[in-house]
Amino acid sequence: MLAHPAEPGQKGDMNTPFRNHPLRPRRSLLSVPASNARALEKSSTLACDGIIFDLEDSVAPESKAAARGALTRHFADIDRASPVERIIRINSLSGSDGPADLEAVLACGPDAVLLPKVCEPQDVLAVADWFAEQGADDSPRLWAMIETPSAALNLAAIAEAGRTSGGRLDCLVVGLNDLRLATGIADVPGRPFLVPFLMQVVVAARASGLDVIDSVHNGFTDLGAFSAECEQGRQMGFDGKMLIHPAQIEPANRAYGVQDAAADEARAIVSAFARPENTGKGAVNLDGRMVERLHLDQAERLLAKVELIARKENRT
Ligand code: COA
Ligand code: MG
């Protein structure tokens, strides 16, 4: 069988190996309730990689319309040149708020829309079709919350919908609060009963070239426990974490950033392959260890991330 033309896991252009979309740091994605004026104002001053403006779970039903209005006014004033990614989480399209939220999205022009409680591919395809009908170009991108038992069963098909929705799906975001509520899985340190599910989400995302973001951690005053969970998520392969409080930004940026030692190692791999004697070699000896061209791809991606983070931090 012929490989899919944009097969994830095959080397794409230099900036996008293993992904369908350009590399963006997504270490820290802070959820900001659109109904909270102080939080909205404060969000513009924070060092997170992305802001998820929330119209869903954190906004009470009677405040939904006011939150949409506040968000539209907020977007009218934002600095469009800022490198911070802006995502709007809408309500379910089965109620009356979801469609009104989508109209607000058109007015706001965020980078992405986060779809709540995605259960099957159709939930993504329907929104992609709607944007196409509105004449939207590649923007906004779509992100999907993976937070229901049905999503857990349909993971591969949902991730694959990213290709068939004109490649508009960029990211899966795990939502453990809803999943725990729906299943009864206990909230215990180390998340032992959830690790198999979390790994399935990572693998499904990668199989379709998507980024993947770990769930919020509710205890925002215990930064030790939060950092441990970030480290666990990083080791599982997540790109970053969804956050609920500004205090969580710095530890998430640290855990999902690039350690100096890892950057040095990546530079050493790049220089090893650049040496004339290694031209055309698939594997080389680097200080007594084998490194292959796949490590070169990984090293180049890591260094591209270092550069993007440095560019962002020099600006803020
Ligand atoms: N975004 C932006 N600013 C936030 C914030 C957020 N998510 N959470 C807190 N802040 C701000 C507060 O406005 C306050 O600012 P100020 O001191 O400069 O006025 C400061 O951070 C300290 O806040 P604190 O008093 O520690 O928290 P709180 O008791 O006001 O709020 C929560 C605690 C959990 C209710 C609040 O953090 C929150 O609403 N988080 C997001 C919830 C959410 O989005 N849920 C949906 C996703 S699961
Ligand atoms: Mg939820």
Domain ranges within the chain, ordered by starting residue: 28-256, 260-315
What is the reported pLDDT for 26?
A: 98
Chain segment 175-196, per-residue pLDDT in tens: 999 999 999 999 999 999 999 9
CA of 189 to the centre of ligand 2 (A): 20
pLDDT score of 8 more than 50: no
Question: Does 27 belong to an annotated binding site?
Answer: no
Return the best residue to mutate from 90, 244, 249 for the ligand 1 pocket (most ligand atoms within 8 A of CB). Answer: 244
What is the reported pLDDT for 71?
A: 98
> Which protein residues touch ligand 1 with a CB less than 6 Å away?
30-33, 38-39, 42-43, 54, 57-58, 216, 244-246
Q: Could you identify the atom of ligand 1 that is nearest to the CA of residue 57?
A: 46
Q: Which CATH number fits domain 28-256: 3.30.420.40, 3.20.20.60, 3.40.109.10, 3.20.20.70?
A: 3.20.20.60
Question: Does 129 belong to an annotated binding site?
Answer: no
CA of 265 to the centre of ligand 1 (A): 38
Rounded mean pLDDT of the chain? Answer: 92
CA of 56 to the centre of ligand 2 (A): 8
Chain segment 59-85, per-residue pLDDT in tens: 999 999 999 999 999 999 999 889 999
Ligand nearest to the CA of 242: 1
Question: Does 89 belong to an annotated binding site?
Answer: yes
CA of 225 to the centre of ligand 2 (A): 21
Ligand nearest to the CA of 59: 1
Task: Report the percent of the chain where pLDDT is more than 90.
Answer: 88
Write out the chain in H/E/C secondary structure: CCCCCCCECECCCCCCCCCCCCCCCCCEEEEEECCCHHHHHHHCCCCCCEEEEECCCCCCHHHHHHHHHHHHHHHHHCCCCCCCEEEEECCCCCCCHHHHHHHHHHHHCCCEEEECCCCCHHHHHHHHHHHHHCCCCCCCEEEEEECCHHHHHCHHHHHHHHHHCCCCEEEEEECHHHHHHHHCCCCCCCCCCCHHHHHHHHHHHHHCCCEEEECCCCCCCCHHHHHHHHHHHHHHCCCEEEECCHHHHHHHHHHHCCCHHHHHHHHHHHHHHHCHHHCCCCEEEECCEEEEHHHHHHHHHHHHHHHHHHHHHHHC
Return the best residue to mutate from 51, 241, 245 for the ligand 1 pocket (most ligand atoms within 8 A of CB). Answer: 245
Range 221-249 average pLDDT: 98
CA of 54 to the centre of ligand 2 (A): 10
Whole-structure pTM value: 0.93
Q: For residue 53, name the pLDDT band (cuts at 50, 70, 90).
A: very high
Ligand nearest to the CA of 67: 1
- Which position has the higher pLDDT, 5 or 260? 260
